[in-house]
Each structure stands twice: as C-alpha cells, then as structure tokens.
Amino acid sequence: MALHQEPPLSIGGIPAFEKALPEDRTSREEEGHFLVVSPYTEKAHLLDLRTLDAENALLAQALVHMKCLRSDYATAPYIDTFNWSEMMEELGRLAGRDGHRWRETSFYIVAFRSQIPPTTVYEDLGTLDKAAHAEATASGGFLKYWFGTPDKDGRNLATCLWRSQEDAKKGGVGPGHRRAAVAARDLYSHWKIDRHRLIIRDDVKNAPFKTVQVEALVVMKIVKHCAASFPTTATGCIVGMDKEGVLEVTNTFPFPTTDVANVDSSHQNDASALAAAAPRAKANMVYQNDMIRHLKEVNVDANNVGWYTSATMGNFVNLGFIENQYHYQRDNDRTVALVHDVSRSSQGALSLRAFKLTPTFMAAFKEGKFTTESLQKSKLTFKDVLVEFPVNVHNSHLLTAFLHQLPAAPPSAEVAMPTSLADLQRDPVKLPLYPSSDALDLSIDPFLEKTCDLLLDSIESHYTELNNHQYYQRQLAREQAKITAWQTKRKAENAARVAAKQQPLPEDEWQRIFKLPQEPSRLEGMLNAKQVEQYSKQVDGFTASVSAKMFAVRGNLLPE
C-alpha cells in the first residue's frame, strides 16, 4: 500500500460567533447523543458523542453538513472537494451555541482514492466496507466517513476523518478491516491512500480587535510629522501587533515624500495628492518592507498594522482614503487607518481616531459596483462605510517616570512666599501639561467658519453628483423611448409580414442596436454623505464647547 505523507491542510480558523443561532434540528439527524456520521444508519455505525471531548464532538456535528462540491471528486485536490468553509462556519455556530471557546486542535484525515475494473461487483465491496466501518466506529475516534460512487472509469474517493492518527491505526487492526484490505488487492486495479492533517486554530486568535492602543511614542511621532508638513497631507506606516482584542500600535515611520520646498505654493495640492496616495504607491511598499525589516533587528514589533494620515477639520473621507485602507485591509484584515486632525488638535484636545472599512463595504468595493441595484441588494448606506474604534494611549513605565519630571500641577503644600514682584516675573509658575489651559482659548470662530466652508464644498459636490444622475436618467429615458419605438415598429412590420405569409423578423434585435448608458457610481455620493455627517458632528462639538466658553465669559464680565 502506498502511503503519502501530505502537508497539513490548513483551513483557516473558525470565525467567532458572538451569539448563538437557533438550532437547526432538521439538518442534524441526531438521536440523543448518537450521530449519523456515515452513509450507514444502523446502530453499529452511529458515533457516540459521549466518548469525545468538546472539540471532537463539535467537529463531528459540524461534519454532518459535509457536502461534496465537485463531480470529479475522485481526482480533484482534497481541499477543493468538500465545503470546508461552510463546515467551519457551522463549527463556529455550534461552539457559540454551547458557549465553548475553541482551542487549537489537529485532526487526522485519510483519503482513499481507488479504481475498480469493470469486472468487480460494487456491492461486494460495500459489504466488506460496512463491516470494517462498524469495527472502526467501535474502536472510537472515528468522526466522519464519506464515499462517492465510481465514475465512468471506475475511479472513486472514500475519506475518513479521525480524532488522531493513533485512533486511525487502532481502527484498522480488526478482522473486518483486514478482510477488506485483502480483498482490495484483488478487487481494485489501482489505489492510493493520502493522509492529511486538519488543524483548526483558536477562535481567540481570530477574534477581531475591538480597541486600538497607541503607544505614546507613536502619538508624538505622528503629531510631529503631521504638524511639520501641514497643510500638505502627511502619511506614514504604523507597526505593532494584535493581542487579545487590542490592536497595539507600537511604532511608526513616515513615508518618503517629494521635497516641495523649492516649488511654489500652487503645487501644494500636487504634493498633498502625492502624499495621500503614498500608502498604496509601489515604491513605498518597498520602503515600508525595508524599514520594517530594519526595525525588526532592534526588537520593534515587525507587523504592519496599517497607516496614518493627517487631516484638516475632519476632511479625510474621500476616495483616496478608502483606496488606501482597502489596499491594506485586502491583504490583512487587522489593519487600521489612524487619522490625526491637525487643525482640530490646535484648538482643543488631540484628535486621533482609528478607522476600518466594514466587511460589507470591502466586498462591495472589491466588486467595484455601486449602482442603485447593487446598493439595494447589499443594503449598504454611507453609515456602513467606516467603522471607528476607540483609541487609547499607553505609556511605558520609563516614560511615566519621565513625564513626572515635566511640569506638574502646582503643589498643594505650603509654598515659600516670594519676596518681590520681580521674583514672580522672573520665575513664573509653570502650568501643567494636563489638564491644559489651552483648551480655554476663546477664538473658535475661525474653526466654525472653516467647517462651514467645507460644508459648502460638500454641498457643491453633492450637486455635481445629482446632476450626473439626472443626466444619466434623461439619457436612459431617451434610449428607452427609442427602444419602445423600435419595438412597436418591428411588431407592426411583423404583423404585416405575417399577413403577407412571410417569415417574421426577430424581435430581440434591439439589444444589439441600442446601448443603455452606464449608471454612474454611487460611491462618491456615499462618501460625500459620510463626510457631511462628519462635519455636522464636528460643528455640534464646537457648538457645545463654544457656548460653554461664552457663558463663562459673560459670567466673568457681567457678575450678577
């Protein structure tokens, strides 16, 4: 017998299911704890779930849904033959139902590929097989048995899934199996046994992250880079690691930009456009990989976890941003876009936000279709484009020590009295960094003004979008009218021809003659709506703080 050691089959992790779904009784032909795991349904062929631990029992139940996807299963690659992804989903659902946290488990798969000559009676094989199966079931750890029917050349596939290799060995020592093996020599013209390992990873590792934790160093570097290149957009790469639901961002470096010092300011937009496109530029991918390789040597976390960009008054929701994030998220789902708003940070608290594209939007963007029809089908609205994550900043112990050396709040204990006014002026009290008195600055109108300008821009682009659609609809109506006219004409013609006992002309030719205009993409409009939402929330924030400040000023100037 030829035994082939195959590389392990790695079928991803099971997706984590948050909530248990209602149990689907009809598809699980279960009789208490006995499970039908093979084409044989007699008692001796049923799997007793009580003999298995949680992982194996769950997998056995998920395997009930095993389906063959290909008709050429006898020769097709093993991993393509069955509906693994569906089964893994089912497994996640079952684990969620039982509240079980999946631990990484490895299983053993035997695939028996055979060919019988036309002379062999298939039923004889069946009897032998059945006996061997009952024996294997009794020995334990036999999770699934499946076989097909021979194709026209007599080729076939049978496969069993075991708890482990030891179980598979034990299951194959009985007299029934031996009889079948002896018979195999005469009955098959050719056979081959493939062995695979099925590894199902932890769901903990696969759980998506829920918060983003940014190291102080990263905050400082991003702020510095964005402020230095303001008002040009600045972009860079962030590295870190994803740990138990928290995406830790531990280091960062900027992408190289073209030097615009000598170019006059009319080219500023070009520089911004270049910088905004930097994260998906080919040259920068090389730079990024180079840099990460170097950082790895000095013990920095060497995983790319996304990118950052600077923004002015929250104007970052545009196609370039989406494309960048898509570019990162396509390869690795655990990536975020950090957005640092330079203008907003200058008038109040630091604005640093983390965004990701939603899976539905990812799928839609991959298709590249944003027509009315596809949007209705996917129920995608502008609210589903981005998902925001809470951002935390984290300091190392050493940094905490350092921060305590920076100016702190005035001491609460008794202080030495100054002897003269000059003393006070020479050595003014240093205000603490936190909470900062800068937040009490009263000049907020420029920011409101700027946001209003940006809102007007958004309305402008909204109108452009509307006009595009109007144009499209007029175009469509005109074409449709033409088609109807043509169809009536052709019908009349055909009626005349039938009356004249002639062959009628085909009536669906219009599809060739007329071409319906392409519907413009709704993506721009969607992003614009998202952007407007962003602005108006920002205005709300401004209003809240400005009215508080104004009441404070009034209270100060007009004491009651």
Partner 1 sequence: MAVDTESFLHLSRPLAPTALNFQSSNSPLSVSIQTQAVLSILDHAIRRDLPTAPASSSRVIGALVGNRSEDGSEVSVSSAFAIPHTENEDQVEVDVEYQKNMLSLHLKAHPREALLGWYTTSHELNSFSALIQNFFASPETGTFPHPAVHLTVSTDPGADVQLKAYISAPVAVNAERAAESCLFIQVPHRVAYSDSERSALELISSAKDVETRSAPVVSDVEGLTYSLEQTLSLLDRVSDFVSAIIDEEQEPNNALGQYLMGALSLAPKVDPSSIESDFNNHIQDVLMVSYLANSIRTQIDLSQRLATAALANDEKTEKDGEKGEKGERGERGQRGGKRGGRGGGRGGGQREPREPREPREPREPREPRENGD
Binding to partner 1, residues 72-131 (CB under 8 A): none
- 558 lies in the binding site for partner 1 (CB under 8 A): yes
Cβ at position 549, least distance to partner 1 in Å:
7
Please state, in angstroms and rounded to a whole number, the distance separating the CA atoms of residues 161 and 145. Answer: 7
- 466 lies in the binding site for partner 1 (CB under 8 A): yes
Helices 268-277, 319-331: axis angle to 10 degrees equals 20
Contact at 8 Å (CB) between 458 and 535? Answer: yes
Cβ at position 47, least distance to partner 1 in Å:
46
Cβ at position 289, least distance to partner 1 in Å:
11
103-119 burial, b at 16+ Cβ within 10 Å, e below that, comes to: eebebbbbbbbbbbeee
> Looking at 185-193, 320-328, 490-498, 551-559, which segment touches partner 1 (CB under 8 A)?
551-559
Length of the chain: 560
Would you call the peptide bond into 446 cis, given omega within 30 degrees of 0 as the criterion? Answer: no
Of the candidates 452, 457, 458, the residue with the CA atom closest to the CA atom of residue 542: 452
- 483 lies in the binding site for partner 1 (CB under 8 A): no
Cβ at position 2, least distance to partner 1 in Å:
49
Instruction: Spell out, one character per residue from 377 to 406, where the chain touches partner 1: x when CB under 8 A holds, - when not.
Output: ----xx-------xxxxxxxxxxxxxxxxx
- 223 lies in the binding site for partner 1 (CB under 8 A): yes
Between 38 and 251, name the residue whose CB sits nearer to partner 1: 251
Contact at 8 Å (CB) between 11 and 79? Answer: yes
Cβ at position 428, least distance to partner 1 in Å:
10
Between 47 and 352, name the residue whose CB sits nearer to partner 1: 352
Query: Of these, 119, 419, 443, 503, which contacts partner 1 (CB under 8 A)?
Result: 419
Query: Of these, 407, 446, 504, 517, which contacts partner 1 (CB under 8 A)?
Result: 407
Between 165 and 545, name the residue whose CB sits nearer to partner 1: 545
Between 10 and 258, name the residue whose CB sits nearer to partner 1: 258
Query: Of these, 215, 314, 325, 328, which contacts partner 1 (CB under 8 A)?
Result: 215
Binding to partner 1, residues 264-293 (CB under 8 A): 287, 290-291
Please state, in angstroms and rounded to a whole number, the distance separating the CA atoms of residues 181 and 186. Answer: 9
- 259 lies in the binding site for partner 1 (CB under 8 A): yes
Query: What residue has token string 């905050």?
Result: 219
- 372 lies in the binding site for partner 1 (CB under 8 A): yes
| CA distances, 135 to each of 44, 46, 139, 168, 179 (Å) | 8, 11, 6, 12, 12
Please state, in angstroms and rounded to a whole number, the distance separating the CA atoms of residues 537 and 449. Answer: 15
Residues 6+ apart with CB under 8 A from 326: 357, 362, 365
- 417 lies in the binding site for partner 1 (CB under 8 A): yes
